[in-house]
Amino acid sequence: MDFLQELCVPLGLRVGNGGIAGEISDNGPQQVCDHLDLFPKARFFIIGMGTNDLGTWPDTEFASRRIIGNLGRMAQMVRDRGKQPILFNVPHVNVAMFPPRFANEINAKRDYHNPQLKSFCDEHGIPLADICCLLRDEHFGDELHPNDQGARIIAETVFQVLPKEYPLVEIHERKKTETEAGNWDQRIRNQKLSQEKFGRPILDGSKDDELKDVPGWFLDNHPNANGVKIIADEEFKTMTGLWPEALPRRQQDDGRG
């Protein structure tokens, strides 16, 4: 993670490491839930699981489905909190550390699983860092774990995905904070009910006393003027956070033609 942190400094991002050695994907959803609470302001959650699953379950197709199902639940949990999940696939092993036939069997499991994972990510629009295609035997410190050179390659590969997704404007936490502070009026009212009752959209709370007990009155997800202002404010903060300290300035006209 040190290498990824170095790369992320210009983006103003801090990297937290929540990985647990020897973990299987069945435990991933609970870990993601815990880390969403632990890092409420995180923009991205980078998740890589499957190595230990493929070594645990003898049926590769079953193991792959199980891994992808768990990763799908993790990714959805991250998205539900307004954050961006990023996955990476399972690298091959260090072939030099295994008997040839055993190494081929292990890597065949990766060669089956990784395309399945890519298809899932493509279907659901989840960024995927393909570290498997880049790591070679010389990038490992033992049978399975990368050395410094391998860790740098992984960091660079993940980093290549980040700029495509950045910046992510954090709206969820801001709206939650506003609501807790009493500023709950952030959405337009039910458009169908508004048209039926008043013949026009109701964008504010002017009719709330009259229709507050009507089911669905408050359930439209589109922001009203107050909600748009909150979103715009967060967008402005995100954009200005990316500005360099000194932007190029136009030279002043000295009055000469």
Below-70 pLDDT ranges, the chain: 1, 163-170, 240-257
Give the percent of the chain with pLDDT over 90: 39
Is residue 145 domain-resident?
A: yes
Is residue 110 domain-resident?
A: yes
pLDDT of 243: 57
pLDDT of 242: 57
Q: Tokens 């202002």 sit at which residue?
A: 229
Residues 26 and 152 in one domain: yes
pLDDT of 168: 59
pLDDT of 108: 94
Check which CATH number belongs to the domain holding 135 and give it. 3.40.50.1110
Range of the domain at 182: 172-242
Residues 32 and 69 in one domain: yes
Residues 161 and 180 in one domain: no
Residues 27 and 147 in one domain: yes
pLDDT of 245: 47
Is residue 249 domain-resident?
A: no
Total number of domains in the chain: 2
pLDDT of 241: 62
Boundary residue ending a domain (165, 199, 231): 165
Is residue 247 domain-resident?
A: no
Is residue 18 domain-resident?
A: yes
- pLDDT tens digits for range 43-68: 899 999 998 999 888 899 999 999 99
pLDDT of 47: 94
- pLDDT tens digits for range 101-146: 999 999 999 999 999 999 999 999 999 999 999 989 899 998 888 9
**128/87 Cα distance (integer angstroms):** 5
Residues 146 and 161 in one domain: yes
Residues 178 and 161 in one domain: no
SS (H, E, C) the chain: CHHHHHHHHHHCCCCCCCCCCCCCHHHHHHHHHHHHHHCCCCCEEEECCCHHHHHHCCCHHHHHHHHHHHHHHHHHHHHHCCCEEEEECCCCCCHHHCCHHHHHHHHHHHHHHHHHHHHHHHHHCCCEECCCCCCCHHHECCCCCECHHHHHHHHHHHHHHHHHHCCCCCCHHHHHHHHHCCCCCCECCCHHHHHHHHCCCCCCCCCHHHHCCCCCCCCCCCECHHHHHHHHHHHHHHHHHHCCCCCCCCCCCCCCC
Is residue 11 domain-resident?
A: yes
Boundary residue ending a domain (118, 150, 165): 165
Say how many Å lie between the first and final Cα of the chain, rounded: 56
Is residue 217 domain-resident?
A: yes
Task: Say if CB 200 and CB 194 are below 8 A apart.
Answer: yes
Boundary residue ending a domain (165, 193, 209): 165
Residues 12 and 105 in one domain: yes
Is the pTM of the predicted complex or chain greater than 0.75? no
Residues 125 and 14 in one domain: yes
pLDDT of 167: 57
